[in-house]
A and B are shown apart, each in its own frame.
Chain A
C-alpha cells in the first residue's frame, strides 16, 4: 500500500494513467448502462450510444435544420455574445472593487450595498429582471452580471485592501499621483488574482446564462438544451453539454496561460 502514502512517487506514465482512470471509468459505466438499455429497447433515447450522439452532432453542427440553420454554431454564437458582453462589463466590477479598496468615499457608498447584494440569489429575481429589462439580450446579460458582479467587485476590493499600505505611502513620498498609485502600483499587483477569480466564476456565469436562456430566448446553448428536452433528444443534449464544458475549459486555460505569460512574477498557481 505504498502508493497511498504521502511520499509516493509516480513516473509520468503512471501519473497520466492514474489521471485518466476516472475518466475511463465514467465513460465505461455510461457505455455499459447505455448498452444495457439498448438491449432492452433499441430505440432508447435516454442514454444514446456514441454513434447516435455523433449523429446528433452532425445534425446540429454540419447540417442545416428544417429552417436551414446550423444550430450548434448559431447557438454558440448567441451564447458567446451574451457571455462576452457580461465579461466586458465585469471590467466595471474590477474598477469599482479597486476604488472601494483605495478610496474611502467609494467604500462608504458601495461596500455594504454590494456585500448585501452579493447574498441576494439573483435567480429568484429573474421574473423581475424580465419585467425591467424586457425579453431581449439585455435581461440575460443583466442576470449574469447580477450573479457575478458583486463577487468580483468584493474580491477585487479585498485584494486592493490587502496591498501593504507602505507601498501606497512610498508611492506618495516619491511623488506619485492618486491615479498612478491606483493604476500603476495597486492594480498590476492584484490583477492576476482578479483574473483568477473571474476565471473561477466562469461556471457561475454559464449557469446564469443557461437559466436566462431557459426562460425566454430564440437561440443559445441553454435554450437548445431546454427545447430539445421536449422530445428527449439526449443525443443532442449530451454533445451540447460536452461542448459547453469544453468551451469553458478553453476559456479557463487561456486566462491561465495569459497570467503565466503576462505576470511571470506571479507564482501563486
Chain B
C-alpha cells in the first residue's frame, strides 16, 4: 500500500510542479487591474501621495479600472517593467531608452513629470577643477545618469572619459564611502545623497544637471500595447497626476500637508524635501509638459542621451549606431530607425488634461 501511496503522491507533486511552472511561464493576461511601479525620487513622490490621498483611486474608479502602485528599487522596477510584470513604471529618459526601448518593449512616455535641475551633481573635494580633475578617481554608479552627467561635463571641458578613472560604486553606500575617504576627490551622484554630501566642509559642486537643463527627464513610461488597448489607464494616470500637481502647486497649508506626506514617504524632512524640489524642474501643468515635448530642445537633448547610450554599448553590444532605436516625437518625426520605434513621446493624454477634457 505504502508504495503505491508514495508513487501517487510523487506523481501528484510532479504534476503540481508542472502546473506551477506553466502558470509562471505564461504571460499575464490583459485584465482590468494594472500595476504601476515606482521608486523613491523627489520627482516621483507625488505618486504615493496620489495613492494615499485617494486621488488615484478616484481617477481609476472614474475610468472603471483598478491601479495598483508598487514600490520597488529603481533598477529592479525597470527590470520588472521590461519583463512584463508591471504595466507602467517611472524612469528617466535614459533608462527608458536603454532598458525597455532597446529590449524591444515599445514604450510610451505618458507623462513628462520634471527634469533634473541640480538633483544630479559632480561633487569635489579640495577645490578640484576641470583643469585638475585629470587622472582622478571618480566614484559613481556606472551607466546611470551620473555617468551621463560626468560625460557631459568632460565633453564641455574638452576632456575624454579615459582622462579620469571611473570607479563603479553602489548608490546605497556612495555617500558614506566618499565622505570617509579623503583620498577620493570626486563623486557623481543624485539627491538626496548630493544634499548629504554637500553639507560637509571642504566639498563643492563642480557641475550639476542645472548646467544641462532638460537633458535628464523623469517620465512615466507605459507599455504602448497596453496603453493602446486600454486608454483608460492613460487617462486615469494623467488625471490623477495633474490633480496631484494642482495640490502641490497651491500655496498654504494644503500644499504643505501634501509635501509633508511625500517627504515622509521619501524618508526626509519637509525642509529637505522642499530643497530637493528646488533642484527639480517640475512641470506642474500639463500645458508646460506638452510644450516641452513639442520643443526642438527635447530632440537635441535626446540626441545627447542616445549618443551616450550608444557609445557605452547600452543600445546592445552589436548596435551599429545610435539610430538602432527609433524615438517618436509628438509632431510625428522620428529620430533613428523608423522600423524600430520603441520610444514614443505621446502628449495626447497630457493634452486632454490641459484642455480639461478628462472625465473625473
Contacts and interface: CB of A to CB of B under 8 A. Distances in A.
Interaction A to B = yes
Interface of A: 1, 4-5, 29, 32-33, 36, 40-46, 55-56, 59, 65-67, 126-127, 130-131, 134-135, 214-218, 223, 226-227, 229-233, 236
Given A130-B180, A135-B184, A231-B99, 4 more contacts: A55-B317, A230-B98, A231-B98, A236-B317
Contact of A1 (B6, B99, B142, B181): B6
A41 B105 contact: yes
Contact of B104 (A33, A44, A55, A66): A44
Choose among B99, B173, B183, B317 the residue with the greatest number of A CB atoms under 10 Å from its CB: B317
Interface stretch (B123-131, B160-168, B248-256, B292-300): B160-168
Interface string B1-19: 0011011001000000000
Given A1-B3, A226-B168, A36 B143 contact: no
B301 interface: no
Given A33-B25, A44-B103, A127-B177, A59 B317 contact: yes
B318 interface: yes
Contact of A46 (B75, B83, B317): B83
A218 B166 contact: yes
Interface size class of B (residues with CB under 8 A): 35 or more
Interface in B122-177: 137, 139, 142-144, 162, 165-170, 172-173, 176-177
A40 B3 contact: no
A44 B311 CA distance: 21
A31 B25 CA distance: 11
A18 to B, nearest CB: 14
Main secondary structure of the interface of B (DSSP, over half): mixed
Nearest to B147: A230
A236 B314 CA distance: 13
B82 interface: yes
A231 B316 CA distance: 8
Choose among A36, A46, A56, A216 the residue with the greatest number of B CB atoms under 10 Å from its CB: A216
B143 A227 contact: yes
Interface string B177-218: 100110110000000000000000000000000000000000
A52 B314 CA distance: 16
Choose among B103, B167, B176 the residue with the greatest number of A CB atoms under 10 Å from its CB: B103
Interface string B23-38: 0010100000000000
Contact of A214 (B162, B165, B170, B183): B170
B168 A65 contact: no
A29 B17 CA distance: 12
B167 to A, nearest CB: 6
B341 interface: no
Nearest to A126: B173
